[in-house]
């Protein structure tokens, strides 16, 4: 049986007040925003996300002139790190389009290098479409911190915060020295 928001709002005071009601409503919305992959296997998706997140923490891309080169580099890095235990495909056609990298038919990585506004808009559209079936991470390379925060803020304000934005910047290493 489908649960509508009005029903949850009416139930909240009976179940312990506004805090519980807010939790139930937020949880209901979060369930509606989950990808098909997350709905079918939430624990597997959570485990995959943790594994890939740890791998991305170790990825140190070289400087390339083209997005395709970054995509190829990340793809090869993931293949090496995952040791063929988890399938990784590059530009595999799906019913939702052609994501840059698809991991285990559950996680899409969409890369953009120094994206201008039109590319950021395109990134959001691609990620929204992919997010119906897959978890989605937007990998942005050489995007200024203020632009990354603006993108995250936009996604959050439009309730698209299920799209994770992961920045990689060449100047991070220089800042650490």
pLDDT greater than 60 at residue 7? no
One domain for residues 4 and 90: no
- For residue range 46-63, list pLDDT tens digits in order: 999 999 999 999 999 989
- Supply the pTM of this predicted model: 0.78
- Residue 3 is predicted with a pLDDT of 47
- Residue 162 is predicted with a pLDDT of 87
In the structure, what pLDDT confidence band is assigned to residue 145 with cuts at 50, 70 and 90?
A: very high
One domain for residues 17 and 81: no
One domain for residues 84 and 142: yes
Average pLDDT, the chain: 82
Question: What's the CATH number where 100 sits?
Answer: 3.40.1350
Residues 61 and 168 sit within 8 Å (Cβ to Cβ) = yes
- Residue 17 is predicted with a pLDDT of 45
One domain for residues 59 and 112: yes
Summarize the confidence of residues 67-90 as an average pLDDT.
95
Summarize the confidence of residues 101-113 as an average pLDDT.
96
One domain for residues 138 and 95: yes
One domain for residues 167 and 107: yes
CA-wise closest residue to 120 among 132, 145, 138: 138
One domain for residues 4 and 85: no
SS3 letters for 73-132?
HHHHHHHHHHCCCCCEEECCCECCECCCEEECCCEEEEEEECCCHHHHHHHHHHHHHHCC
One domain for residues 21 and 42: no
One domain for residues 101 and 44: yes
Residue with the bigger pLDDT between 19 and 50: it is 50
Domain count, the chain: 2
Domain that holds residue 18: 1-33
- Residue 70 is predicted with a pLDDT of 97
In the structure, what pLDDT confidence band is assigned to residue 161 with cuts at 50, 70 and 90?
A: confident
One domain for residues 16 and 73: no
Q: Which residue has the tokens 């939790």?
A: 23
């Amino acid at each position: 049986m489908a649960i509508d928001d009005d029903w949850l709002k009416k139930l909240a005071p009976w179940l312990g007040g506004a805090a519980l009601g807010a939790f139930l409503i937020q949880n209901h919305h979060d369930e509606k925003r989950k990808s098909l992959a997350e709905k079918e296997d939430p624990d597997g998706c959570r485990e995959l996300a943790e594994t890939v997140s740890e791998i991305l923490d170790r990825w140190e891309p070289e400087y390339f002139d083209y997005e395709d080169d970054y995509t190829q580099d990340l793809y090869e890095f993931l293949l090496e790190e995952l040791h063929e235990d988890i399938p990784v495909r590059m530009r595999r056609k799906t019913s939702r389009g052609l994501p840059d990298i698809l991991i285990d038919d559950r996680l899409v990585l969409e890369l953009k290098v120094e994206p201008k506004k039109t590319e950021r808009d395109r990134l959001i559209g691609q990620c929204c479409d992919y997010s119906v079936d897959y978890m989605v991470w937007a990998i942005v390379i050489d995007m200024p911190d203020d632009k990354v925060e603006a993108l995250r803020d936009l996604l959050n304000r439009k309730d698209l915060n299920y799209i994770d934005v992961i920045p990689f910047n060449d100047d991070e290493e220089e800042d650490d020295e």
